[in-house]
Structure 1
């Protein structure tokens, strides 16, 4: 008997288990990261870039990743399936200025095909663990497209607090879009 026949509506969800590996990005990941940015940039308007991706040369990205590995208050993590296919990236950017080196700006992107599998949650958990272990980062912050309800729910679930609305953060389809500033204090 189907759900409709017995008067109830039943919800069927396709569930799949996938095994992902999360690791620090290394210079040899540069080409795949740039290709990933073009793919994900074409999948959603919630990113600061579009189908053009990050518009960096592979050599520049390699140098950036090499330098990143030497920083104590910055990181890029990648999520892969079977340590092959790149499906997600989380990063924390900061600076070396004594007054602000404790603040990390978080960026996260998951390939659309893998939305809803918990990859964003795992990446955000790993960012928080790394921040605590760094001994330097005391504040993680991000700005999220105001219409990105899925991301906002994730950040709130992770303990991020809304701090304010930012006007005209992006310009999409001839309209300005607001951003929401959120942060998590690391104690």
Structure 2
């Protein structure tokens, strides 16, 4: 089930982020390093409050009675950019490859079509995250550019930041 996030979801969302960033298999999928991981549930609650007040989208995916995924979309504030916004998402390990990401994006796209003047959904994805790249491409996002070696990991290796967009 997908629903709008509420402030009580903050801890579960932080746990998902921690699970991704601290996992050896998925840590390179986020730009934040494990040392930069925010563990501030009040800050996360504020993000949820702010998104609602500004008319943005902050949704969660529930399975087995718990929050196992999240999706955020923030529309750009500046008038020349207000026709677009940026999205991000995360799925708890153990619930990946089961359609949660697809359903969250479908939810976002349905929501976006109802938003006045919204024309474009933007995202950045680390080049090594092939699972996400495949999902976004399958859902209709197109690559618009690539920032080469934009992400430098602690071990000295690099990844590109792949810039993608969906046109509503």
Q: Same fold (TM over 0.5)?
A: yes
Whether the 8 Å contact between 2:13 and 2:69 is mirrored in structure 1 is no
Q: What CA distance in whole angstroms lies between the structure 2 residues aligned with 1:53 and 1:34?
A: 13
Q: Give the stretch that moved more between structures: 117-126 or 45-54.
A: 45-54
Q: Give the stretch that moved more between structures: 154-163 or 93-102.
A: 93-102
The aligned runs of 1:1-187 (5 Å cut-off) are: 21-43=1-23, 44=26, 45-51=28-34, 54-72=37-55, 74-82=56-64, 84-172=65-153, 173-186=155-168
Q: RMSD of aligned C-alpha atoms?
A: 1.7
Q: What CA distance in whole angstroms lies between the structure 2 residues aligned with 1:150 and 1:60?
A: 29
Bigger helix share: 2
Q: Which runs of 4+ in 1 moved over 6 A?
A: none
Whether the 8 Å contact between 1:107 and 1:142 is mirrored in structure 2 is yes
Q: Map Cα deviations across residues 110-141 of structure 1 (whole Å, 9 max, x no partner).
A: 11211110111001111111111112321001
Q: What CA distance in whole angstroms lies between the structure 2 residues aligned with 1:60 and 1:136?
A: 29
User: Shift of residue 54 of structure 1?
Assistant: 4.2
Q: What CA distance in whole angstroms lies between the structure 2 residues aligned with 1:131 and 1:145?
A: 24
Q: Map Cα deviations across residues 77-121 of structure 1 (whole Å, 9 max, x no partner).
A: 111114x32211111122322111221111111112111101110
Aligned length: 164
Whether the 8 Å contact between 1:91 and 1:108 is mirrored in structure 2 is yes
Whether the 8 Å contact between 2:126 and 2:159 is mirrored in structure 1 is yes
Unaligned stretches of 5+ residues in structure 1: 1-20
